[in-house]
Each structure stands twice: as structure tokens, then as C-alpha cells.
Chain A
Amino acid sequence: MSSEPPAELLFRRRIGPRRALRELWAVREVVVSLAQRDFLVRYKQTFLGVLWAVFAPLTLVLVFSLVFERVADVSTGGAPYALFAYLGLLPWTFLSTSLSQGGLSLEANRHLLNRVAFPREVFPLATVAAAAVDLLIASSVLAVLFVAYGVAPRPTSFWAPLLFAVQLAFVLGVALVASVGVVYARDLRHLIPIVLQIGLFATPVAYGMEAIPSGWRLAYSVVNPMAAVIDGLRRTVLWGSPPRWDLLAAASLGAAAVLVGGYVLFKRLETGLADIA
């Protein structure tokens, strides 16, 4: 018997975008089940339960208020600093949870990778979905802050869902890349917290977009769509103006590139996932 298969028999997995999306749609309920599991497990048997979802951004607001408001004198366009910072921290926490949990989602479900046949992106998608529920819970604190400071959100807030959509695309892309990267090269898992730490200060979360030189803002929004999203949120919700369209377009471009590129990379590497799990 020959010891190698003949070349014409070699298996090439061909999967176009339409088929990939159709297969993903077919398992949408698995995403829900896994997201539910991740969410339930995260807060089960903890004293504060889901309040932890609120706790993380809230402590950061407190720290930022102490440090940045007093020491660094950030210009908030007349809005209370806590509100200003919280509007940055909400999307940031969503990214941070999605990336840290989503990045490890394949690794954490390693035992399932060679037991179930559905598309592997359900694992990072489910963690992002669970993080989105956290975001929803944490957003309720925003209402409390508005009441506490006697401020009302501006009518232009209706742009917020658009900003969220841009961020979601970016977050999904990043989670896809990170999750598959961690399986193929374990070292990357140690890189995630470092990237997030640097990102928190490199992104206008605690401070405003003005801190970034005006000539750089457009390019920066492509590389880091979070900057434009957070800036847009503050403009629409706090200041009553529409988002900066040029920055948002740049951010959309960056986010779309990360999402599409990430998905293509993921589907390419997916074929071998069960072999190493």
C-alpha cells in the first residue's frame, strides 16, 4: 500500500461567504445557548451576581474622576466628568470583556472542538453576545448618572445605535482573530491583557478626542475605531451634535476591514482546529 494519498485526492475545503453565513444562521440557537451559558456561569455563585457587570465600569469612573478630573483637567465640553468618562467606559468595557473572554473562547471550549460539528465562530460570537448583555446592564447606570447630575441626554442620542453597530463590527472582528490566534499560538493569550491595558490609555476613554493632534484623528480612527465611536457617543448624547462623519466613516472602514479580514482568517484556520484541540 502506498504511504501517501495521490495528489488528486487531496482535500480542499471550499467555503464561500454565502455558504459560511448560511451555516452560521442555521446554528443561531447554539450561539444563544452558549451565550446564556457564559452569562449564567459568570455570575453564578457570586455575591453581587449581575451587579458585577456594573461594578467594573463604575470603579473605573471613580478612579478616573479622582485622577483625570483633578490632576489632568480634561475638557468635557461642559458635561459632568463622571458622565463623560462613563460614556467612554461603557463601550470600552464591552470591547475589553469581548476580547479577553472571546479571545479565550475556543481555548476554553477545547473539549467541544472535536465533538461538535457546527461552525466554530459560534464560540467567540457567544462570548461577544454575553458581553453585550453586560453592556445593556451597565447602561442602566447611565440613567442613574443622568438623574444624579440633573442632566438629560440630548435628542441627537438617536445616532447611538449606529455608533454601536460600528463598534460591534470591530469587536466581533477582534474577538474572531484573537480566539483563533490563541489556539494556534498559546503565547498570545498573555498578550491580550497587555494590549487592553495600553488600549485603555491610548484610546480617548478618560480624556477627549482633543488630546489627539487634529491632523492624526482621521488616521487614528481607522486604526482604532473605538476612538471615533466614543467621541461620537459624547457628541450625540452629551453635546447635542451629530457625530463627526469623517471620523465615523474612517472608523467604519477600519471596523469593516477587521471584521471581514478576521472572519476570512478564522474560516481559513478553522479547518485545522479539531486537529489540535
Chain B
Amino acid sequence: MRDGTLRAERLWKRFRSDRAAYGLRDQVRRLSERGRGGERWRWALRDVTVDMEPGDSLALVGSNGSGKSTLLKILGGVMYPTAGRLGVAGRVGMIVDVWAGLHHELTGRENLFLAGSLLGLRRAEVAARFDEIVDFAELDHALDRPAKFYSTGMKMRLGFAVASFLEPDVLLVDEVLAVGDARFQQRCLNRMRKVLADGTTLVLVSHDLAAVEATCRRGLWLQEGACVHQGQVAETLARYRQWVEEAAEAAVAFLPGDVRLVKAAVGPGPGDAHARADGPLEVALVVESDEPRTAAICLGVSEGTAAPAFVLRHQARLRPGETEVRCSIAHLPLPGGRFYVWVGAFDGREDVLPWQPAARFDVVGPGLDPAPPGVVRPAPVHVEATWETGARR
């Protein structure tokens, strides 16, 4: 196998379902249970296969507890599978949380060597790149201060700076993009893109679907430890988003609050079956309140998650009983696809109607232009535009 190849065939992993307790008494009890075949297990991974060539990039998505981190740990050799075959060629780098190895009593300088060692760098390698790493982390002024006096951002920069000088054949990254400020995230992404360009195999776990889409070519969606879909990242994410939305819809029809949502309808208006990109859209809501109140009705449109592409807000006076609220959008700034309307009502101090998905609709129209690699497009917005290119006059 060439360096950077990763083959995981039919991985299974189980944990004790009572894994909280590890006292002597628990162990004795387990021994007696084992004799009677009464041990309790919980499967965290069921029959998952991952096959990657050097330079491939794979995003692991799924809800919390779906087995993403377990899979990553097994691929990284930190954890052993219960069943299955695993082959990884070349040097493996794993970044779980970037400051895991730091010790708060040690100074930045001491921590830099420690973190490098724990990530698999030789001390000589750290020493040779010391200035570069310190530069990258922007920590030269705080190098001899104990890490306990560092801000979260400083710790993160220190950890990531060391990690980014790791030059593995296979890089496994868990949720580092979720933390840190915008600049730090962009740096991580840039670094990740460079790593990919160098031919490193990348497996990325993240809840930030936009970042995942910008970085990875392939996607793997895990649900209760089993693979639901594996394929092109856009396809995997589209299915996953739809599932997230449907699960949210199924769980609660309409969430209760001081104000209740009675009915929600969305459509392009009379005489048209489908909403069109850049066309009109109308949302009709019926809300019910026990007492008269003034509330800000908020409408959001998203691809599936609670984070909307855009939000519209309207101060409305609600009478006791049912009130109809209508919102007309003249030019819908969305590309073709399936979208969801989220609704909430707020009276300044608290939400009187919790933020919730209310209806879904399909848009007919052109898809989005792809973003350059590594560039995050946080929300799908369709913009009518015309281009002209020609010789400069």
C-alpha cells in the first residue's frame, strides 16, 4: 500500500453499556456476569467500511453519539475495533482537541515540545521549526509564561501551530473547526487545504457542514453506528440535512409556548405550483395567544439546520385568539433545492414561541456555483448576475 492509503473493512465496536463504574466491586460483578453470559454491551459502530486512496478527503457527519469520534479513534489507532480489519500506511496524525496534551503549569516553550512529542513529532523536528511555530502561533511575547495564564485562544493557537507542522500521510481531525474565532477557523481551513494539496489523506469530523463541504470531497453519514450514506460530499450532506429537518419535524409538530403556532403554509402564491429562484414566495402563519401582546415574529429559511440563510422580522400585535400573519417575499434569493421555513416569536425578554421548523418547500431554479476549494459558503444565496468578459478597451 502506498503511504496515505487507509483501508478499514467492516469495523464493529462495542462498549459496555454500564461503562461508568470501574471499582473492584464492579469488576467482580462483571466476572460473575460473564460466567452467566449476562454482560451488557452497546454497539457504537456497526459494519462500517472506509476505503481511501492517498489524497482523498472524507467528512464524517452525523448527530451526537452516532459513532463519528469512535470511528476516528479506531482509524487513528487509539482504540481497537471489536471486529473488522484495518490497514493504514504511513505516518498518521490525529488532532482531537488541540490543547489535549498541554499542561497548565508548564510554560509555552515547554508545552510546545511536549505537545509536539505527543502528536508524534521528534524533539529535533520541533526544535528545528521552533521559530516558525512560535511565529505562526503569535505567542513570542508569552513564551515563558505558564499556560494556565493563557487565554483559550492562545492555547488553541499553540496547539494548532504545533499540529499544523506535523506532516502526516493521513490526517484525522475532530471538531477543531468548531472552536476559535473566525480568523482562526479560516487559518485552519487554509492549512487543511494546503495539507490536501500536498497529497495528505484527510478524515474530518465536524458539525460545521459548510466547512465540511468546502474541505472534503467525500462524505460518510453515520447514524447509531451504522453507515447511512457514503458518497460525494454534496450528496451525503443533502441527505443528512433533509433527515435532520424531518427528524425535527417528526419529534414535535409544533413546539408549545405562550404563543402557539396553529398553521403554517408556504408557497409561491396563486397560480404557481413551485417557488422559483428569484421569484415570489408567500408564507402564511396562524398563531394563537391567550392574552393581547406585542411580539416580534421571526421567519427564517434554511437548508435544514437551525441556522438560517436569512431572517425576516416583523413586529406584530396579537389579539387574544388566533391571528393570521402573512409575509410576502418578492424576489426569493434561493437556488433550486429543498428549503425549510423556521418560525419564532420574541417579546424582547424571552421567546414566546420557540424557534422551530414550520414548513418546507421546494424551489425550482439553477443550482449554486461551486465555491473555490477551502472557501466556506455559510448559506445558500442565489444572486441574479450577468457576466461580461472581453478584451480591455
Contacts and interface: CB of A to CB of B under 8 A. Distances in A.
Q: Do A and B come from one complex?
A: yes
Interface of A: 1-3, 5-6, 9-11, 13, 29-30, 32-34, 36-37, 40-41, 44-45, 111-118, 183-188, 271-272, 274-276
Given A10-B82, A117-B92, A187-B24, A37 B103 contact: yes
B226 A274 contact: no
A271 B81 CA distance: 9
A33 B80 contact: no
A116 B81 contact: no
Q: Which of B114, B117, B226 has the most CB of A within 10 A?
A: B117
B100 A1 contact: no
B144 interface: no
Interface string B69-103: 00001001111111111000000101011001101
Interface of B: 10, 12, 15-16, 19, 22-27, 43, 46-47, 73, 76-85, 92, 94, 96-97, 100-101, 103, 105-106, 110, 113-114, 117-120, 122-123, 146, 226
Contacts of A30: 117-118
A275 B113 CA distance: 27
Contact of B117 (A2, A33, A275): A33
B291 to A, nearest CB: 51
Contact of A185 (B22, B101, B106, B117): B22
A190 to B, nearest CB: 10
Contacts of A112: 100-101, 118
Contacts of A114: 73, 78-79, 96
Given A1-B226, A116-B94, A186 B43 contact: no
Given A33-B118, A37-B103, A274-B73, A11 B81 contact: yes
B117 to A, nearest CB: 4
Nearest to B44: A275
Contact of A276 (B19, B76, B81): B19
A186 B22 contact: yes
Contact of B10 (A9, A33, A34): A9
Given A1-B226, A37-B103, A186-B22, 11 more contacts: A1-B46, A5-B83, A29-B123, A114-B78, A115-B94, A116-B78, A117-B78, A117-B92, A117-B120, A185-B22, A185-B27
A6 B47 CA distance: 10
Contacts of A183: 22
A41 B104 CA distance: 9
Contacts of A41: 103, 105-106
Contact of A5 (B19, B25, B79, B82): B82
B19 to A, nearest CB: 6
Given A32-B123, A276-B19, A11 B83 contact: yes
A253 to B, nearest CB: 30
A246 B65 CA distance: 59
B12 A5 contact: yes
Contacts of B118: 30, 33, 112, 116
Contacts of B83: 5-6, 9-11
A117 B77 contact: yes
A45 B77 CA distance: 37
A274 B82 CA distance: 13
Nearest to B20: A276
A10 B96 CA distance: 27
Nearest to A182: B22
B271 to A, nearest CB: 47
A212 to B, nearest CB: 32
A33 B27 CA distance: 34
A188 B123 contact: no
16 contacts: A5-B84, A11-B82, A29-B123, A32-B117, A34-B117, A36-B113, A112-B101, A113-B78, A114-B79, A115-B97, A117-B120, A184-B27, A186-B22, A187-B24, A188-B24, A272-B80
Q: Which of B81, B146, B226 has the most CB of A within 10 A?
A: B81
A11 B80 contact: yes
